[in-house]
C-alpha cells in the first residue's frame, strides 16, 4: 500500500469557502491551501471534521473544493461535541476519530497534515499539543489570508515548525527570571 497524503481540518461556522476581510470577499483557509498555494493538488484525501452545527457549512465547502483542479477526495466526519471550546472534549473526540479512521482505512499509515487555521482556537491548540507532545505524527500547515500574503510577500501556505528547543532559547531569560522568585 502506498502512503497517501491526507489532510485533516475542521470546518468553521460561516467562514468558508469564502471569508470577508476589510469589507472584501476572499478565499477562506481551505481554498487558500487547496487552490491558491503550492499545496494545490498535493493531497490524496481530506477528512473535513465538523460538529453538527457546522455540517451545512462543511457540505457547502466540500462542494466548492470539488471545483478546484486536482481535488482531494473530501470526506466529512461529524464529531459530537457539546462544547467546541473544551480542550479535553476535543481531545476525546479526536482520539475516537483517529481510532475509528485507523480501523477503517489504516489512517496512521499515511502522511498526515493538519490545516491549523480552521476550527475554534481550542481545536487549533489541541493539534499543536498533539504534535509537541509527540502523540501523533502530524505536519501542521498554516495559511495566510490572500490580502495579507500579497501585502507582506508571505506564502499562501507554509509548514509550521514547532521547534520547542528553539522556543526554550527565546524564553530562557523570562523563565530564569520567574524561577528566581
Which cell goes with 33? 491551501
Q: pLDDT, tens digit, for every residue of 124-178?
A: 999 999 998 999 999 999 998 877 888 888 898 999 988 767 777 777 777 676 7
Please count the CA atoms within 13 angstroms of the CA of 111 that sit on its side-chain side. 10
Among residues 80, 62, 87, which one has the least CA distance to residue 72? 62
5-180 sits in which CATH class?
A: alpha beta
Identify which has the larger pLDDT, 12 or 79: 79
User: Would you state the pLDDT for residue 175?
Assistant: 66
Whether residue 33 contacts residue 141, with contact meaning beta carbons closer than 8 Å, is answered with yes
Each residue of 85-118: pLDDT tens digit?
999 999 999 999 999 999 999 999 999 999 999 9
29, 96, 79, 138: CA torsion to nearest 10: 0
| Prediction pTM value | 0.88
Listed in sequence order, the residues at least 6 apart from 100 whose beta carbon sits closer than 8 Å to its beta carbon are none
Q: Return the domain boundaries, the chain.
A: 5-180
Amino acid at each position: 500500500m502506498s502512503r497517501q497524503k491526507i489532510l485533516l481540518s475542521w470546518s468553521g461556522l460561516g467562514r468558508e469557502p469564502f471569508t470577508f476581510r476589510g469589507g472584501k470577499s476572499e478565499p477562506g483557509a481551505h481554498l487558500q491551501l487547496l487552490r491558491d498555494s503550492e499545496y494545490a493538488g498535493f493531497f490524496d484525501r481530506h477528512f473535513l471534521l465538523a460538529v453538527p452545527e457546522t455540517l451545512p457549512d462543511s457540505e457547502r465547502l466540500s462542494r466548492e473544493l470539488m471545483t478546484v483542479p486536482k481535488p482531494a477526495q473530501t470526506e466529512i466526519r461529524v464529531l459530537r461535541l457539546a462544547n467546541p471550546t473544551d480542550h479535553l472534549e476535543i481531545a476525546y473526540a479526536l482520539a475516537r476519530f483517529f481510532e475509528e479512521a485507523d480501523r477503517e482505512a489504516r489512517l496512521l499509515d499515511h502522511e498526515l497534515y493538519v490545516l491549523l487555521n480552521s476550527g475554534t482556537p481550542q481545536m487549533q491548540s489541541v493539534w499543536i499539543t498533539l504534535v509537541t507532545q509527540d502523540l501523533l505524527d502530524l505536519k501542521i500547515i498554516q495559511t495566510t489570508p490572500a490580502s495579507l500574503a500579497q501585502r507582506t510577500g508571505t506564502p499562501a501556505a507554509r509548514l509550521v515548525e514547532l521547534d520547542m528547543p528553539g522556543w526554550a532559547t527565546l524564553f530562557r531569560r523570562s523563565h530564569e527570571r520567574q524561577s528566581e522568585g
